[in-house]
Amino acid sequence: MKTMLPKLPDHASKRIIPGASSVVVGAGASGMAAAELLDFLGAGVRIVDSGRLSDSVREMATRRGWETREGGHGPEQFADAELVVLSPGVNRRKLSPWLEQLGPDQVISELELALGFVDEPIIAVTGTSGKTTTTTLIGAFLEAMGRKVFVGGNIGTPLCRYALDRRTNNREKADILVLEVSSFQLLNTTSLHPKVAVLLNISPNHLDYHQDMDEYVQAKLSLFAGQEPQDTAIISGELRELVESHLKIRSRKVFVEPVSRLTCPALPGRHNQGNIESAFQACKAFGLDEAAAQKALDGFEALPHRLQGFAEYHGVLFVDDSKGTTVQSLRAALEAFDRPLLLLAGGVFKGGDLAGLKPLLTQKVRHVGLFGASREIFEQAWTEANVPLSWEPTLEAAMDRLWATAKEKDVMLLSPATASFDLFANYKERGMAFQRHAKVLAERDHG
């Protein structure tokens, strides 16, 4: 029972009505952080999810007096809602029949909810690929400068969790918030005002979620909508024409090219040079110099499942790029290596130009081992690539086939260009399965 409600910021008070029903859609980390923040602020909470709620969610809901609804979404889940907060992966269009009675300020993202309760300067990073690496690099650069940094958003800790921990005195205030933001979040966010906004790239992705490519592009470009002239926009040079033709950015624009100003052995490839340069330019606004940046890079380790070279067995390097869920990320992975590649690809295809990779496949790849779903899509796109192509139902079986042909100096590369949900719960589980079976292969002879 609450004895005193916190005073709300003026720009947030219109959304949070003490005692009114607030519906949180999705019971993952972001949804639960939003629910706990709403509860702390005095709003009634209802957790809804299209699947089955976990026992831990049910237990917390019972303890705190929250409502719960699960199963396929329907009008009863949103009855009497004054506010609906969407978790990052929730498709708003699929909920639209039950949200029509609500105004635009009543259906928001978890990120939008949190923004009402933070006032720290923000560096926000988006793009089809490279977001997590660049966001993590920015955090490392700022920490090397002695700044207190919160790194989260679409990765790690949701911003609602940070906002709640700050208001309950469980967390020290950060000097700077470094946020990875996805197109899903940006679609339902209007209050984001980054001091520095970073747009890495745009290529077809999540077309199973977005209405079309134009909606996806507009969501990404909305990153700059809240910026003012004193802010900075860091943009890939490849997007100059797209950006300048689609909107007028009020902030100072810095177009970035992949240069070799800074080096990091843990981050191979031209695309990572772009990520490093984008992170460096983002932190220059806070006083970073090249010497401090290079010192931070010297101790930087590859992130799990992102072009992570984790082992070399019998002269064959194993590289886990399970986070590479798009065609563009596969292209970047292929371009990163000069050694012959044994490529593992397949899963739930999200869209993109696979056929456009044929020249790179011919140049770089000795054998493609497809696995899981989307076999027909890959085979149709790549049959004329003059590269041996095989398919197996499981990742492990595909690895067995490639290992039989492996030679010293080869790279066995898992860069699937797909989501993982045909065979695995998420990309992390897929990557760990790859790493586990690599150890099994190490004990076998190969061709």
**HEC per residue, 382-426:** HCCCCCCEEEECCHHHHHHHHHCCCCCCCEEEECCCCECCCCCCC
How is residue 414 written in tokens?
Answer: 């898992």
Beta bridge partners of 319: 309, 413
From CA 398, how far away is CA 262, in angstroms rounded? 37
236 is in an annotated binding site: no
pLDDT score recorded for residue 204: 57
Tell me the pLDDT of the chain (447 aa) as tens digits: 343 445 555 555 556 666 668 999 999 999 999 999 999 998 999 999 988 999 999 999 999 999 999 988 888 889 888 899 999 878 777 888 888 888 878 899 999 999 999 999 999 999 988 899 999 999 999 999 999 999 999 888 999 999 999 989 889 999 999 999 988 899 889 999 999 999 998 875 554 555 667 787 888 899 999 999 999 999 999 999 888 887 789 999 999 999 989 999 888 888 899 999 999 999 999 999 999 999 999 989 888 999 998 999 999 999 999 999 999 899 989 988 889 999 999 999 998 899 999 999 999 999 999 999 999 999 999 988 889 999 999 999 999 999 999 999 999 999 999 999 999 999 999 999 999 999 999 988 765
Backbone angles phi, psi at 128, to 5 degrees: -70, -40
**Structure tokens given for 218:** 């507009």
Residue whose C-alpha is closest to residue 382's, from 350, 437, 333, 343: 343
Check residue 1 and give its pLDDT: 35
Would you state the pLDDT for residue 18? 65
Per the listing, tokens 């076998």 go with: 444
CA 323 to chain centre: 9
127 in a known ligand binding site = yes
DSSP 6: P
CATH no., domain 21-103 = 3.40.50.720
Any binding-site annotation on 134?
A: no
- CA 152, 277, 129, 204 dihedral sign is positive
Among 200, 100, 414, residue whose Cα is nearest residue 423: 414
Q: According to the annotation, is 131 in a ligand binding site?
A: yes
| pLDDT score at 212 | 66
Q: Which pLDDT does position 4 carry in this prediction?
A: 46
The helix/strand/coil state of 84 is: strand
pLDDT at position 98? 86
**Cα distance between residue 388 and residue 79, in whole Å:** 56
The pair of three-digit structure tokens given for residue 381, joined into one six-digit string = 């796109």
Q: Which amino acid is at 300?
A: F
b/e per residue 172-211 (b: at least 16 CB within 10 A): eebebbbbbbbbbbbbbbeebebbbbbbbbbbbbbeebbe
Write out the E strands in 162-241.
176-180, 196-199, 232-236
Tokens of 372: 């899981």
Which pLDDT value is given to residue 328?
Answer: 87
Task: Specify the CATH number for 308-445; select among 3.40.630.10, 3.40.50.1820, 3.40.50.2300, 3.90.190.20.
Answer: 3.90.190.20
Q: Is 96 annotated as a binding residue?
A: no
pTM: 0.79
| pLDDT confidence of residue 51 | 87
Q: Is 439 flagged in the annotation as binding?
A: no
Q: What is the pLDDT of residue 3?
A: 37
The CATH number of 112-299 is: 3.40.1190.10
Strand pairing report for 252-256 and 232-236 = parallel
Q: Give the model's pLDDT for residue 19.
A: 65
Q: 3-state SS of the chain: helix, strand, coil percent to 5?
A: 40, 20, 45
Domain boundaries, given as residue ranges, for the chain: 21-103, 112-299, 308-445
- Is 109 marked as a binding-site residue? no
